[in-house]
Amino acid sequence: MSLSSSTVIPKLFRECSPEIIFEILSEDSLDARHLRPFLDTVMSEGAIGISASYRRHCQLGAIAFSSPTRVLVVQLASGDLSLGSNCSKRNRVIRARSLLERQILCNANYQKYAFQMDRIAVALYLDMALRIDSAIDMLSVSPSDDRRSPQALMNAMGGESTLHQSNVKALFFSNQSRPASNSDLVQQAWAACQASILPHMAVRFHALRRIRTNIIPDEHMSALSKICRDGELLDSLKPLSVKNDVMPDITVKMDNLKLTCSRYPTRIRLSAQQSLQIETRKGVQVSGRAIHVKGREARIKIRGSFHGDEVKSVRTIGGIHPVVTSAFQSRMAPK
């Protein structure tokens, strides 16, 4: 794949919407000539934003590196490089990966920022045999317990007041069932870079421990990475829509609905990532969100009206994820 250049204007931060130049290339064509123009735009603070997209089975498909003005997207070769007879391509890929590791990933002069740096660190190791140093998991700065929630992301990006919230949610939380487009990948990497240099956030990120997989012994890294990837694979098998078995005694008051689930496994849960779809006997559908849950009982704020109709069914829309913390949060050496 030859090098191509395009531009995009991320409209994520209220006070910053510059035109970003981005280039896309395959890893077997990457060399120092491509890295030099990008690294020349990295600020004196050495902040580089990183984002990644994933193929089936949670394998890394592409990785993006961002400065405040420029993004480099590297698309990974598919298939097992140890198989086949294309030795020339395999050697080019090996050289390119070594260059990335030496010039960016394990270059301690650059601080690498990503919103899910733990997942990226695992993918780099398992899918590219690469390590990383001086890496910051930005979601670890959020006080929110649910790292996967929009609230945790916006906390890590500087707070709701600094953002175009609807654009942020659309970029990071829409179409999660498919790999991110190149444009999305670019904007996500740039968002990480931009958030890292906000004055009120830089101090908070500075206090976080760094992810340094380059100092973890192979046997420990292999075990940790396998555990993390297996968890991802199991998570990806969970349904995106679940019917909630509810009891008939449902109370509706204004824009609130109170109900009890008949089965604990299909109970309604509090989650910023999930919404509820309520259907009435007459086929009217309204959306809602759980605002209070206790055991099998739930109170739901609805958007719309039943017009006096009875509730026929309630369905949870969105992945059902456990509360998670960074895989490396308690395993890294001090910065």
Q: What is the DSSP string of 125-177?
A: HHHH-----SEEEGGGG---S-TTSHHHHHHHTT-GGGB-HHHHHHHHHSSTT
Determine the residue type at 307.
H
- Determine the pLDDT at residue 241: 72
* Residues sharing a CB contact under 8 Å with residue 330, sequence separation 6 or more, in sequence order: none
Q: What is the reported pLDDT for 322?
A: 45
Low-confidence ranges of the chain (pLDDT < 50): 1-2, 321-324, 330-335
In total, the chain counts a number of residues equal to 335
Sequence spans of domains, the chain? 4-236, 241-317
AA identity, residue 311? V
Q: Tokens 């910051």 appear where?
A: 136
d(Cα 139, Cα 147) in Å, to the nearest integer?
6
Fold of 4-236: Nucleotidyltransferase; domain 5 (3.30.420)
Give the domain 241-317 fold: Thrombin, subunit H (2.40.10)
Place of tokens 């700065």: 141
What distance in Å separates the CA atoms of residue 224 and residue 122, rounded to the nearest whole number? 8
Per-residue model confidence (pLDDT) at position 278 = 84
Distance, in Å, from the CA atom of 304 to the CA atom of 255, rounded to the nearest integer, reads 8
Alpha-carbon span 195 to 73, nearest angstrom: 19
Could you tell me which of 335, 2, 8, 7 has the C-alpha nearest to residue 171?
8
Angle, CA 76 vertex, CA 72 and CA 77 arms, to 5°: 145
- φ, ψ of residue 141 to 5 degrees: the values are -85, -15
